A and B are shown apart, each in its own frame.
Chain A
């Protein structure tokens, strides 16, 4: 057993490049989904039915579908529309579009729970337009949604593992290729799990800092 771990450790470069790809995909998804999610949330909150209903329908559909099913659809469905993409690009698109829906729902929820009194008070103090948004609304929206979006980033990290099925060389793919070449399955996947765990612990530590900052602000 310890020999297996030594064999796996000898190929640490493969795990590191897999981990790097996992982190890169997750970070890119987080950035893209956060930007697009705010935009979709705004669409969900408009009064115009023509805009609101498709946006809400998209979000609800994504929340019902497993990520792998959607990734398959992007990977096999886009060539149907004669759009040819490599597995990496279609994987990233699938991750970003899928999680845009979840971020949109988080931001929509934060917006709906925003206290109306504070906005009224801000208006009474002469805030309007951009300053009202930047100084009164945005900070509250930020601190209400960041813990949830941070939590979502753990789901993004875990969903990125599904992309190994469409041959994206991320962490689980790397572990799988080491195990199939040298036949050290137990050691190989345990190493991958520990790396995922490490990343999650770092994300959770960062979230704790944001929550502390939010508490300091409120006090």
Chain B
């Protein structure tokens, strides 16, 4: 019966590593998207290359590169920072594409109207563009968060004992793999549903504030 606390510990690891990567990755993706959107010379093609390569890289390969490869660059990372960095790099590339799609679709006339009123670019971005763009990006961003949770078992290769790893260890110790796997599946479903429920809640609040009033 000590298996359940072990499994829950794994769940806490999965949830917290994913959460840190999400909290840092959503704004990082936005920053990368703005670099692309503004066509910042030199940086913009670099970001495009970064996004293209990272989106094609399995999380497990990225985790191995960051954990075992970083000492070659003179940086020594522990397993936990390497884990967060792996998920952060992975999700930032996908988030960049989501934000960028929303920015490209942003109506041109609103930008021109704001400019005609003499709004400085930064203020315009904060008061006109961002409040609308985050709402159109939200469903895709939440979808990416659930994909991130599903990619997080890759961290097992650098020694992180996450939910999947915990389930497989219990299965190996008890010679009964099915019960821990079903329990882990239920916890993953719960985590995913938590994010989806949060999205629904935010969407409902936004609708009440902006469309009912």
Contacts and interface: CB of A to CB of B under 8 A. Distances in A.
A124 B71 CA distance: 70
B14 to A, nearest CB: 9
A69 B69 contact: no
B61 A196 contact: yes
B69 to A, nearest CB: 4
A64 B192 contact: yes
A10 to B, nearest CB: 17
Given A186-B65, A189-B69, A159 B164 contact: no
Given A76-B171, A172-B58, A197 B52 contact: yes
Contact of B177 (A4, A66, A73): A73
Interface string A49-73: 0000000000001001111110011
Contact of B150 (A61, A66, A172, A186): A66
Contact of B156 (A159, A165, A193): A165
Question: Chain A binding site: helix, strand, loop or mixed by DSSP?
Answer: helix
A68 B153 contact: yes
A192 interface: yes
Interface residues of A, number: 41
Contact of B149 (A66, A158, A159, A175): A66
Question: Chain B binding site: helix, strand, loop or mixed by DSSP?
Answer: helix
Interface in B155-213: 156-157, 163-164, 167-168, 171-172, 176-178, 181, 184-185, 188-189, 192
Contact of A196 (B57, B73, B177, B189): B57
B1 interface: no
Contact of A186 (B60, B69, B171, B184): B69
29 contacts: A64-B188, A65-B185, A66-B151, A67-B153, A68-B154, A68-B156, A69-B167, A69-B184, A73-B178, A73-B181, A76-B177, A77-B181, A157-B56, A161-B58, A161-B60, A161-B61, A162-B153, A165-B156, A171-B61, A179-B68, A185-B71, A186-B65, A186-B70, A189-B61, A189-B64, A192-B61, A193-B53, A193-B57, A193-B62
